[in-house]
Amino acid sequence: MNAMQLSERFSAAGQITPDDMKDVVEEGFKSVINNRPDGEGGPDQPKSDDLAVAAESLGLIYHYVPVISGSLTQQNVIEFQQACKDLEGPTLLFCRTGARSTMLWNLSGLG
């Protein structure tokens, strides 16, 4: 996992797998937000439900706020802000490459 720190509370990364959740915990994250829609990367992409099970089994808080590549909306930003309201940080955001997650974080004003 190669996470880029965005602020004290948030970092962004590319796609992670259920097996990566152990590394997420070891890196000190308390929460994870998945911004990649299920099926976007084909059948090899981990499903959000599987990621949630792996995250929660290790004590991480997990949210699924999917954003379609190239189609970020104001509603996506609102959903992201709501998901972040009561999260214990630091929080790892991820999508395919981390770019959507970073853009979503930038637009959210949660710096």
**Domain architecture of the chain: domains with CATH:** 4-108 (3.90.190.10)
What is the reported pLDDT for 27? 96
What is the reported pLDDT for 108? 93
What is the reported pLDDT for 61? 97
What is the reported pLDDT for 86? 81
- Strand ordering across the sheet containing 10-13: 4-5, 10-13, 91-94, 31-34, 61-64
What is the reported pLDDT for 84? 92
What does the CA dihedral 93, 90, 84, 65 come to, rounded to 10 degrees?
A: 20
What is the reported pLDDT for 66? 97
Ranges of the chain with pLDDT below 50: none
What is the reported pLDDT for 75? 95
| pTM attached to this predicted model | 0.95
Nearest to 33 by CA among 59, 60, 65, 6: 65
Helix 99-108, helix 74-84: angle, nearest 10: 80
